[in-house]
Amino acid sequence: MAQASNKNTNSVTEKEPEINDLVTQIKILKDDIASLTQTVGEVGKAEASRAVTLAKVKGQEVKEAGEEKLTDARSLAESYGREAGIMVREQPATALGVAAGVGFIIGFLMSGRR
């Protein structure tokens, strides 16, 4: 029976270092996971900041391009307006005929009787 008692004591003594090693490894894993979580969070914040900056830059570029197109369209409309005014002064009958024709076509298209 003394041998049986020795085996239990040896078994417990052998398991204690294994348990201590496991506890140490688990602590190391927890620290590594915490470190990885922090790193992933920092990378995510940096990428989000970069994306916001890029979106602002692209938005400004689109705004500037839109403003340029609007200015061009405004200039073109003013030019056509001036030309129409000149045409009306120089050829009032022709201008009246063109206006009546355009009005007739628009009215026909808008009436729904096609």
pLDDT digits 0-9 by tens, 41-88: 999 999 999 999 999 999 999 999 999 999 999 999 999 999 988 988
Higher pLDDT, 9 or 30: 30
**Separation between Cα atoms, residue 10 and residue 20, nearest integer Å:** 16
User: Is residue 1 classed as helix, strand or coil in its secondary structure?
Assistant: coil
Radius of gyration of the chain (CA): 42
pLDDT band at residue 19 using 50, 70 and 90 as cut-offs: confident
pLDDT band at residue 13 using 50, 70 and 90 as cut-offs: low
**Separation between Cα atoms, residue 103 and residue 5, nearest integer Å:** 113
Residue whose pair of structure tokens reads 């992933």 in the numeric block? 40
CB within 8 Å of 95: residues ≥ 6 apart: 84, 87, 88
pLDDT band at residue 2 using 50, 70 and 90 as cut-offs: very low
